[in-house]
Structure formats: structure tokens, C-alpha cells
Amino acid sequence: MKYAVIAISGSQFKIEENQKLTVSNLNLKEGDKSVCDQVLLVANDDKIEVGAPTVKGAKVEFQVLKNYQGEKVKTFRYKAKSKYRKTRGFRPQLTDIQIIKITQ
């Protein structure tokens, strides 16, 4: 089984080929193909290669499937005994990608 750990959009993900993944907004158009060179670990059956901090020569190709807004996230703050309450919310910008190929 071939898998990798990549850093994309400020987060780390364990990925496999042909996997669909939701990440924070990448500012790429739908249908665009791109390459991520922030590969932290590559495992191919019994051989595991760990980067320091990244694996040299390793790349992950992916394609953008969809850009959209996620569900609303509500936040709430309050201070006890002072009647201070504040509610805020936001909708995160998300991107769905599909992993095409992991190269080592």
C-alpha cells in the first residue's frame, strides 16, 4: 500500500492515490491540476522514507474538484456574572481535491 503525509493549506493529511480530500481554500480554479512538494513522509509497502522536514524529490499531483463554502460555524463567548455574551459565526472557504499520483 502506497501512502504519503503532506502539508497543504497549513494542515497535514495522510493520503493515498485516487483519494478525495477536503482542504482549506487553495485559490485554484475547478479542474486545475497542481503539484504539492511539501511531502513529509512516503511509504511504499515495506519502504518508509521520512523527510527532514520534507522528502527530497517527492511530489504529489492533485486536481481541484470543487470550491465552495462550508457549513456555518458558530462561536460563543461569555463572562460569568457580568451578562457579557457574544455570538459570532463564519462559513469557511473549502476546496475538494483528488489525489492523482504520488511520486518519490
Q: Is residue 45 part of a domain?
A: yes
Q: Is residue 8 part of a domain?
A: yes
Q: Is residue 79 part of a domain?
A: no
The pTM of this model reads 0.82
Q: Is residue 35 part of a domain?
A: yes
Q: Is residue 56 part of a domain?
A: yes
Q: Is residue 37 part of a domain?
A: yes
Give the mean pLDDT of 59-68. Answer: 96
31-35, long-range: CB within 8 Å, 24+ apart, which pairs?
Answer: 31/63, 31/64, 32/63, 32/64, 33/61, 33/62, 33/63, 33/64, 33/100, 34/61, 34/62, 34/63, 34/64, 35/59, 35/60, 35/61, 35/62
Range of the domain at 60: 2-67+94-103
Give the mean pLDDT of 56-64. Answer: 95
Q: Is residue 89 part of a domain?
A: no
- The number of folded domains in the chain is 1
Q: Is residue 73 part of a domain?
A: no
pLDDT value of residue 97: 96
